[in-house]
Structure 1
Amino acid sequence: MTAQVRVHADLAFSLTEPAGGETTGTLTADGTEVRIRVDSLDSVATQQLPGLEQVRPLAKSIAEQGLTLVLEGPDGPIISLGAVAPARAQRLLTGSRHIRLGKLGVLAPLLKSARRSRSRGQSLLPPETPWPPMPTVQRRIVRRITTTHHTRGSGRPRLIFVQDSSSWNGQVPREFNLAAERVTIGSGASCDLKLSGLDELHAEILHNEADEYVLVRHGEVTGSFGPSGSAVLRTGARLQMGPWRLAYFREEFADHGRPFGGRSGGEFAYQRPQIDPRTGAIERDGSTGVS
């Protein structure tokens, strides 16, 4: 049976904190409701708030006496303990039917304090998200496709002369930087990369408007792309031209790939065409050549 205790009080108080802060207020009661009102929350907000595991037994004990204890600030009630009737959502939040929280606007200063607190216990105040699992179950979130496209020509695009382990002499492999917009490869004297044993103009690599490096074949070039036509080069692509074997490399932050920053491949080795958000152009799978 709930005890019926009645309280009558009308007091003013002033509390001086060890750090120098001061809290003033009043304590009034006339029957079963006791109200403690503080004139400012500044000092209260700097204190470490008690955890729910500490407040629940107190709230239950007050309720057993038939009393209600209300703590309020200048803008209204902060929390009520004891013989209260909280909403169902608050009961789920606090784990008690003897705790009723005030309005969020009144709790805001204490919420900030609670987030700064390093207390290991559960906070007396509700979390920022009323229902924490919501971001997990709320799956219909549309996010804009991003891109790792970097500045034009960045990522040091280059050809590396491939050597077998049996013939490698321990020296760093020879490299040729693709610094020009058009690089010609062949045995001709006018070629940018002159290699004996090839046609006079065997192949060329073009730097196109989409900041891609495209292989254009004039002689036979085999490797990790289609058997004929032009092909967009991706990091790791192999090029076999006569007796020469080369590999194309570009730092991955600038090697566009698919989708926007990755290498060609995945999605069962076929990637559906998609729109480049920068230009509106349709980008196709790198293995199918240039669209």
Structure 2
Amino acid sequence: MTTITFRNDAGLDTAEYARYCGIIEAAAPLVADLSGLALPGRVIACPVTPAQFIERQVEHSVLMASLAIASLPAGMFPDDAITTMIAQTRTYTEQMVSWLYPTSRAAVMFREGGAAELTFMPQVYDEHLHPTDRQLTTIFAHQLTHLSQYALQVELAYAPLKCKLRDSAEGLPPEQHRAPAALTFGHGQYVERLVSEALCGQGVIGALPGEPGPSALYTELRQAPQAPTNSPNFDLGEQLVKALVAAGGFPLLRAALTREDLYPTEAEIVDPAPWIARLQAAVESAAPTPFAVADGPLP
């Protein structure tokens, strides 16, 4: 049983606040059904202002960097390098989010000493995205899927950075670097499309003909190479997850999310068949041997 807690940090009026609460409450049970994962026992949904979003994204990114580095083998990076990496994370995140926040649909953010929160900016919706209820359904379903992933394996929240640091330090070529973000983002996009189809009759992400389009600034910023929306992890990852579920259903998906050693590589997200075969073989080899009863009475 999942309890959804809403915290109105953006100071929305009653009608606008109720709109967002209703869409999240409607999407949540479908996410639990269609993602193959259980939602956490408590979901915190929090509308925020752009200034709050930027501040919390910096806090989240620094926390994830700290956890990723702490999870690496001792001595992989000297202390002064770690201090520099954390400082660079803070500076880079603040610069990028301050610039690109008008393109943000929503985000799951961890806060120091607290639970993950589904965080979104109504001001950005009003000024830039102009989403219909159907589009908001896809936005919130995607983020609820991430909360389900982190409830299954919290390390998934910082796995992309951890894998990047370790694979680079070990000298692996770029195509052999693990790409857990393709798995998590692709799963989110896979689920948001299914939830939109189930609730709204259209499994479409983005605006349909006749629906309001985004602002000129959103369209301009979205062309920036650094914009998260330009990441191949979404579309390639969705195709990866579709192939994965078709091959082994949700049990294979859960195995993929919980086996760090079996995350797909950059090469495998483009051609997932070898990765799926590798994952299936590992899962089968780890399965317990069925108990065999010998002929005759037990001794």
TM-score, normalising length: structure 1: 0.20
Greater relative contact order structure (CA < 8 Å, 6+ sep): 2
TM-score, normalising length: structure 2: 0.19
Structure of higher CA gyration radius: 1
Q: Which has the higher helix share?
A: 2
